[in-house]
Structure 1
Amino acid sequence: MTLLNDFFTILDDTGNAVTIGLNREHVIYKAHFPVKPITPGVCIIKIVTELLERKLGVQLRLSQVKNLKFIIPISPIDDPQVTINFLHIDQETSGLTRARGEITGQQSQVFTKFSILYTHR
């Protein structure tokens, strides 16, 4: 299941930064949580993965979440737009891809920091 163009849309894709809009009406937010929705961690990882696949033009399989820090919950109501900043992307000849970055809001607050390892499918 892809989340692009359903759970989120790409608003701007410049260099290593991708700004997305979150669909506050999506069914996931109705379950997590109806009164004060926040973006589930698994959806954050999926968004990062889909954006990285799109950027690199390869299909990726999550291999290891090396580091994942949820600093501030991402609310589609309070923060309908966030930016995924890929601070470092390393594609190894062995078929591994390492991605490190952060998700920030419009006021430059950091919501999430990530360091993830993928294999190519």
Structure 2
Amino acid sequence: MLFQDLYSISTQEKTENGISVHLNLNAEHLIFSGHFPGNPVMPGVCMLQILKELTEVAVGKKLRLSTSTNVKFLALINPEKNPKLLVNIEILEESKLIKIKNITTFDDTVALKLNATFTIIS
């Protein structure tokens, strides 16, 4: 985990096409003190890192982000107000590539949608 203690996984299950993960964000994590003081918001780059880490665990391989398309941050994730996220990732493995489609939500709010391609590095 690149950002130690940023999140914990409460449940993770395989789906027909990928994984579904319930995460708990750590609102006390140091990253939120600078992003932004008094109004913490989950940085987009952290969300991308979390998706990479979850996908690596699901496929059992180390990955490097190659491309991302249709990245849509649709709602701010405030870890004090919305610490529980549901991350759904569809995974398709092609040769030396892993392609994902993600929808991340809290409550009934879609916070993030994206498509990404990762290169398998080991």
- TM superposition score category, shorter chain reference: over 0.9
> SS of the counterpart of 1:110?
strand
Q: Deviations over 1:4-29 (max 9, x none)?
A: x5111111102221011101111110
TM-score scaled to structure 1, two decimals? 0.92
Task: Report what 1:99 is aligned to.
Answer: 100
Q: Deviations over 1:2-58 (max 9, x none)?
A: 13x511111110222101110111111000011010000000000000000011110
2: CA distance, partners of 1:79 / 1:42: 18
Q: Deviations over 1:70-109 (max 9, x none)?
A: 00011101101101111x211002x01100011011x221
2: CA distance, partners of 1:83 / 1:55: 16
The share of aligned pairs that are identical, in percent, is 34
| Aligned AA (2:78) | S
| Aligned AA (1:89) | I
Measured on the aligned residues, the alpha-carbon RMSD in Å equals 1.1
Task: Report what 1:29 is aligned to.
Answer: 32
| Aligned AA (1:51) | L
Task: Report what 2:6 is aligned to.
Answer: 7
Task: Report what 1:85 is aligned to.
Answer: 88
2: CA distance, partners of 1:41 / 1:8: 14
Give unpaired runs (5+ residues) of structure 2: none
